[in-house]
Structure 1
Amino acid sequence: MYRCRLLLNNSRSISRCLHTKAPKSKLFQGQQTKFQQPIRQMGFAAGETAGKGNVFLVTGLVTFTVFGGVVWKKYINLGYRPDYSKKLLMPGSSSENDTSGTSKEASTETATSGVTEKTASDVSLPQIPEHAPYLLIGAGTASFAAFRAIRGNDPKAKVLVITEEDVNPYMRPPLSKELWFSDDKEGIKQFKFKQWNGKERSIFFEPDSFYCNPKELPNKENGGVAILRGLKVTSLDIHKKVATLCNGSKITFDKCLIATGGTPRNLPAISRAGKDVEKRTTLFRNVKDFKSLEEISRNVKSIAIIGGGFLGSELACALGKRGKDSDLQVTQFFPESGNMGRVLPEYLSNWTTNKVSKEGVSVIPNAFLKSAAFDQGSEQVVLTLSNGNTVSADHVVVAVGLEPNVELSKSSGLELDDVHGGYRVNAELEARTNVWAAGDVACFYDIKLGRRRVEHHDHAVVSGRLAGENMTGAGKAYWHQSMFWSDLGPDVGYEAIGIVDSSLPTVGVFAKATAKDTPKAVVEETGEGIRSETEQAATVQSQTSSPPQLGAPSYDEDYGKGVVFYVKDKTVVGLVLWNVFNKMPVARKIIKEGKEYDDLNELAKLFDLHSE
């Protein structure tokens, strides 16, 4: 009898446990009366049967265990939690004790699904994503190369690019080269140009359809690239991984690339000359500057270009050619003794100056700007030079170099290089954990040439690509020797690599040029106007003809084609390939090897200058 009472009490406690410990389980959502009483009765029956004998006790326990286990597994879910949002969405739904719970629950789910779907379609997504796994600040060549590398290694990556400009990523070289030699006005408006071989091309890397809407990026299942245009990142918290935009918006990120490029330098004499001079001055850099200057050049009678470097000389040749077909007068002046005097040896710089002059440009070397003023009578800008002369022009172009955009260093705490400028980065182009820098703003360590900062297209491509790969975990070091090129029209051009400084000792080897030794010819052969892309056609060839003879340059010589070696401690640290194309891998190998040379005849053989 004692055993019967004990078992009966235990069965009651089991019944209370089922009733009190799982009140929100499926068993008690409208199904209490169906299962609660049978389980209690089963417990009582088991106790009474046990009092009649051990056989019945065992039988009762087995029956209870089997049947109870089935019920427990099928109907009881202790992890279940009620969805109170259904009650909020359907305020008229029945109470918890409604016996028609099963049918009500099904109808509630159906109704909830409809409401949720309607709500999602009605609520608009934010225009600016709150989070970007990959955040790229700047939309130049380096960013383009980076997001291509990211997507190549991580096909489902979500990349957000932020740019101050109102256009998609584009290549800059044609802005000072091919675009100026096109006669198609409508094509120019759409930034389409003809390469030297006549093939039409757009400056934009990808069509608009390639990019997705920024607000859709977070929900892109297969990832994508979105461009947030017309906005500037004003603050970067690299510890909290938050970028703040000029409109106050904040975007969190996992990994960030700073590729903000640079801003054209202005001259103090121009900046303090007043608004009349300022609005008649172009600091040439982007598509907006090109569009403005192109229109101005068709409507004014005179333009003055300050600067004799790459950009200044290219624009001088382009505008000079346009002046031949109109009454446009172009004047160029600079403090060096000749065009590109800081890069080319003196004899080659003088030859280049003669070339620019033949294009119809009035070149004034050895002169710098002292003051600028606006003449109300002639409505021209009057420039006073250091040699005492004055130049009057309807418009002024300043091309005196670039300042890297490093304003984010203040908020981010990233280290800047005191000598070269830009963000100091390690071998993987990382400025700080999960923050990289590429292009014009990256100051990197060159294992052959020391710490450097490079402002050219090829470097932007290679450094951007490497940074993008490293953002996906590649961990690669930057060792590439980038090249750059400049074209003075379709007939004269050069490519350079390494340290090309006219203050260094140089050795030049030249030969007579053929019709194949021009920028136009190399584009016709390769079909590619971006010279850094034509290197695939290059092969190392051995010279079989007589070796070139080194000698003192003659200033009246026609430098058709040749190679200029820049030497430091008997080691070649830089090369200029003058009208010599598809030989850049050879030059790159020479610098990489870093050998000492007593006789540069052996190196000159590698460039096959005397082949027809």
Structure 2
Amino acid sequence: MLAVSRLTIGQLRPRVAAIGTKKYFAGRMTSGGCTYSRRWFSKKVNDSMAKELAARRRKMLASGGCYSPPYEGCSSEEAAAGGRRIGVPLIGEDIQYGGGDCGGKRSAAELKKPSCEQDCSDVTTRPKCEGSQPPAKEPDLNKTSPACPPPPPPSKDNTAYILGAIALTASGLGLAYKMGLFDGEPTVQQVVPEPTTSSGTKSKQRYPTSSKDLPGEVPYLLIGGGTASFAAFRAIKGHDAKAKVLVISNEPEMPYMRPPLSKELWFNPEKTDLEPLKFKQWNGVERSIYYEPDDFYIDPTKLAEAPNGGVAIARGYEVQRIDVVNRKVVLTDGTEIKYGECLLATGARPKNLPVFESAPLAVKEHLTMFKSVSDFEELSQKLKPGSKVAVVGGGFLGSEMSCALAKFSDIREKNLEVYQLFHEDGNMGKILPEYLSQWTTDRVREEGVKVWPKTQIKAVEVQDKKLKLTLTDDSSLVVDHAIVAVGSEPNTDLAKTSNLEVDPTMGGFVVDAELRARSHLYVAGDAACFYDPKLGRRRVEHHDHAVVSGRLAGENMAGKNKPYTHQSMFWSDLGPKIGYEAIGIIDSALPTVAVFAKASPAQIIPDTSEKLQAANATIIPASATQTPSNSSVLNHTSVVKAEAMPPKPAEDADDFNKGVIFYLRDEKVVGVLLWNIFNRIGTARKIVAQHTRYDDLNEVAKLFNLHDRPEAEEEVEKEEAKN
């Protein structure tokens, strides 16, 4: 802080004095009979005045004269007789200059005629006052008395400099706050080279090229250009036809769907680079991965003046901070955009393994963190005929990519060798019971994938322009390229700079049942940790959840205030023999009850275990205890329950071709997985929504028509369509 002396800022006040000469002394100026002074004196000035007065007194007494202070017209004796002690003025004292009688103020008449024989301003003679004792010795008139002290140099007025410094400091603090430097610990952004395609052109582009062309204020602002944002602005436009929506995306692409990147796009025959990214849907109809054609969107530079509103996509931009109080966002280049309602749909980013993160650049050139369209295009160009590819990860993405690349190799005649490495016991080990996970691994191998379960990588290096993966058992695998698919984590970088809460366990921005994080700020998609009224706090990373949550957030941004009640689903396809749909909490750490259609007689396996083991749901041999009362009801159906015993492989590979798995928590159904059963997700959603304990899940399984009865399935489909 800047300190200013009170002497500098004191108020100038005129005072009448008997001194007629112009003098400078101790911060005052006398001129024309008036003394202009400052009331307040610093300690330094007081000390200087005291020293000077003491020096004058010593000189006068040494010469035998009577000392008279320069600011009084009387001797020290007269002053003492008047009862007023003359001394150095203190801080805060009201200073009297040139009084009348000794110790008192003079009248106007007295000011015209001094009481002393000579004018006190004449420093060459000693003034004489009535009642004073004559001096012991008359002073020599030819002797020059001590000269007046030289006037101090006029003080320089630094007010302008002080005000300028204060303004500059305030401006600096304001700029620091604007950039978010006071929010959390400062982070250093590492400059990473933009990815390039095989042609060497940069895949990252920006439109509009300058942020100055973006509107300064919009009613609806969506951060993120994925599925959740697409569902949100469709919902907003459905309730507000003339809404103006601005989407800020860090990708150069228009909004597109991601699931085909790891499945259907790899099944297409050879195509030229000029054709758009299209795939065949389950009904055989070909469509693009982009949700809407380019002419559906409005140019961002024209959004503000659009009379009927529209949706504009600002591509290649990132938001650095959200000012929730003032309802504005700050881009990385400092551009500010105000909003009425804002949605955070930043999605998730791929996780990496420490062994790859710390690897040199030469190794990273052989790696792909698969997530976006540019990753798909780059990888498809790198897969040369006869290449060896390692897919690291056994979850959704890793298993789908392994099967897709194997089929891609057959369709394109690439003759690829596809390896899949993961540390679990089988594919999809985190969501499927162990017996079903191992059965799935066998089906993946039938697709031509070389699956290496219970495998971990401890070292990686480039050897002869190839990638050498050293495993924990000291064996090695040499491949041309590796795809890292070990899961994802939510993009919550804005939490620190924007003071938003992140769930410490599940990750993601904490929101309520209406997907609201703060006033006028919502979160949807993979980055939302939301409260489910039925199943508690959750975070889901699936396409359908992005659609459901994005639509709900968009409706609430338009003023609907709806809670999260509609359960989202997910699906996956692993070759021609495995396709499943699921809803609710699907976790192999939960107890499970599974009902599968079999060609053998019905077998009912009682639950004799005291501890239901997650990921250890086990097949009991056919010779196990049967329940005759249920054998006729569940014909060609087996009930498999979690048992605390080593898993055994099924004797017949067709045992798990079709079935339903119930996931339990506190003996209540919290999740349902339909294994090769389709068009029944509505029934599963109703079961999860009831959140009820069922005494006999065998009866519940009948709702899914495990046996081939086309007519019944058509009736159920019509009934669900009506509802």
- Aligned-partner Cα distance in 2 for 1:403–1:605: 38
Contact 2:447 2:575 in 1 (8 A): no
Contact 1:178 1:196 in 2 (8 A): no
- Aligned-partner Cα distance in 1 for 2:442–2:212: 58
- Aligned-partner Cα distance in 1 for 2:274–2:592: 40
1:245-324 maps to which residues of 2 (within 5 A)? 245-298=331-384, 301-324=387-410
Task: Give the secondary structure class of the aligned counterpart of 1:444.
Answer: strand
The equivalent of 2:572 in structure 1 is: 486
Contact 1:547 1:605 in 2 (8 A): no
Task: Give the secondary structure class of the aligned counterpart of 1:397.
Answer: strand
The equivalent of 2:719 in structure 1 is: none
Number of residues of Structure 1 aligned to a counterpart in Structure 2:
458
Q: 1:596 aligns with which of 693, 696, 712?
A: 693
- Aligned-partner Cα distance in 1 for 2:687–2:510: 27
Contact 2:392 2:482 in 1 (8 A): yes
- Aligned-partner Cα distance in 1 for 2:634–2:697: 16
Q: Is 1:554 matched up with 2:642?
A: no
- Aligned-partner Cα distance in 2 for 1:187–1:579: 35
The equivalent of 2:434 in structure 1 is: 346
- Aligned-partner Cα distance in 2 for 1:334–1:146: 36
Shift of 1:425: 0.3
- The amino acid across from 1:133 in the alignment is P
* Cα RMSD for the two superposed structures: 2.0
Shift of 1:509: 1.2
The equivalent of 1:164 in structure 2 is: 250
Shift of 1:330: 0.8
- Aligned-partner Cα distance in 2 for 1:555–1:481: 36
Q: Which has the larger radius of gyration?
A: 2
- The amino acid across from 2:415 in the alignment is D
Task: Give the secondary structure class of the aligned counterpart of 1:186.
Answer: coil
- Aligned-partner Cα distance in 2 for 1:300–1:463: 43
- Aligned-partner Cα distance in 1 for 2:243–2:474: 60
Out of 360-369 and 307-316, give the one that drifted further.
Answer: 360-369
Shift of 1:235: 1.4
- The amino acid across from 2:692 in the alignment is K
- Aligned-partner Cα distance in 1 for 2:639–2:288: 43
- The amino acid across from 2:446 in the alignment is K
Query: Measured at CA, do residues 557 and 393 of structure 1 come closer, stay the same or move farther in structure 2, by a change above 3 Å?
Result: same
Contact 1:187 1:193 in 2 (8 A): no
1:562-593 Cα offsets, whole Å, 9 max, x none, are 10111222211111101101111111111111
Out of 317-326 and 225-234, give the one that drifted further.
Answer: 317-326
Bigger share in helix = 1
Shift of 1:246: 2.2
Contact 2:405 2:418 in 1 (8 A): yes
Q: Is 1:330 matched up with 2:418?
A: yes
The equivalent of 1:573 in structure 2 is: 670
Contact 1:125 1:216 in 2 (8 A): no
Shift of 1:342: 0.9
Which structure has more RCO (C-alpha within 8 Å, separation ≥ 6)?
A: 1
1:428-453 Cα offsets, whole Å, 9 max, x none, are 10000000000001001112221110
Contact 2:228 2:547 in 1 (8 A): yes
Q: 1:412 aligns with which of 490, 498, 505?
A: 498
The equivalent of 2:681 in structure 1 is: 584
Task: Give the secondary structure class of the aligned counterpart of 2:637.
Answer: coil
Contact 1:484 1:497 in 2 (8 A): yes
- The amino acid across from 1:203 in the alignment is I
- Aligned-partner Cα distance in 1 for 2:568–2:387: 39
Query: Measured at CA, do residues 243 and 300 of structure 1 come closer, stay the same or move farther in structure 2, by a change above 3 Å?
Result: farther
- Aligned-partner Cα distance in 2 for 1:187–1:465: 34
Contact 1:302 1:330 in 2 (8 A): yes
Out of 564-573 and 333-342, give the one that drifted further.
Answer: 564-573
- Aligned-partner Cα distance in 2 for 1:441–1:334: 26
Contact 1:276 1:374 in 2 (8 A): yes
Task: Give the secondary structure class of the aligned counterpart of 2:455.
Answer: coil
Structure 1: state its 5+ residue gaps: 1-123, 514-542
- Aligned-partner Cα distance in 2 for 1:431–1:602: 42
Q: Is 1:145 matched up with 2:249?
A: no
- Aligned-partner Cα distance in 2 for 1:599–1:311: 35
Out of 482-491 and 157-166, give the one that drifted further.
Answer: 482-491
Task: Give the secondary structure class of the aligned counterpart of 2:506.
Answer: coil
TM-score by length of 1: 0.72
Structure 2: state its 5+ residue gaps: 1-209, 600-631, 642-648, 710-723
Q: Is 1:511 matched up with 2:588?
A: no
Task: Give the secondary structure class of the aligned counterpart of 1:355.
Answer: helix
Shift of 1:259: 0.1
1:400-439 maps to which residues of 2 (within 5 A)? 400-439=486-525
1:146-196 Cα offsets, whole Å, 9 max, x none, are 000001101110000000111100111111111111114138952111224
Task: Give the secondary structure class of the aligned counterpart of 1:152.
Answer: helix
Q: Is 1:368 matched up with 2:465?
A: no
Q: Is 1:356 matched up with 2:444?
A: yes
Shift of 1:458: 0.8
Task: Give the secondary structure class of the aligned counterpart of 1:410.
Answer: helix
Shift of 1:561: 1.1
Contact 2:212 2:335 in 1 (8 A): no
Q: 1:452 aligns with which of 532, 538, 542?
A: 538
Task: Give the secondary structure class of the aligned counterpart of 1:219.
Answer: coil
Q: Is 1:609 matched up with 2:697?
A: no
* Sequence identity percentage: 55
Contact 1:157 1:223 in 2 (8 A): yes
- The amino acid across from 2:435 in the alignment is Y
Q: Is 1:132 matched up with 2:218?
A: yes
Task: Give the secondary structure class of the aligned counterpart of 2:253.
Answer: coil
1:240-263 Cα offsets, whole Å, 9 max, x none, are 112111233211111100000011
Contact 2:533 2:564 in 1 (8 A): no
The equivalent of 1:379 in structure 2 is: 465
Out of 313-322 and 464-473, give the one that drifted further.
Answer: 313-322
- The amino acid across from 1:154 in the alignment is D
Task: Give the secondary structure class of the aligned counterpart of 1:502.
Answer: coil
Shift of 1:387: 2.8
- The amino acid across from 1:557 in the alignment is A
Task: Give the secondary structure class of the aligned counterpart of 2:338.
Answer: strand
- Aligned-partner Cα distance in 1 for 2:468–2:321: 40
Task: Give the secondary structure class of the aligned counterpart of 1:550.
Answer: strand
- Aligned-partner Cα distance in 2 for 1:188–1:510: 47
Shift of 1:505: 1.8
1:264-323 Cα offsets, whole Å, 9 max, x none, are 001110111110111110111111111111111235611101000010000000111233
- Aligned-partner Cα distance in 2 for 1:592–1:507: 18
- The amino acid across from 1:587 in the alignment is A
Task: Give the secondary structure class of the aligned counterpart of 1:218.
Answer: coil
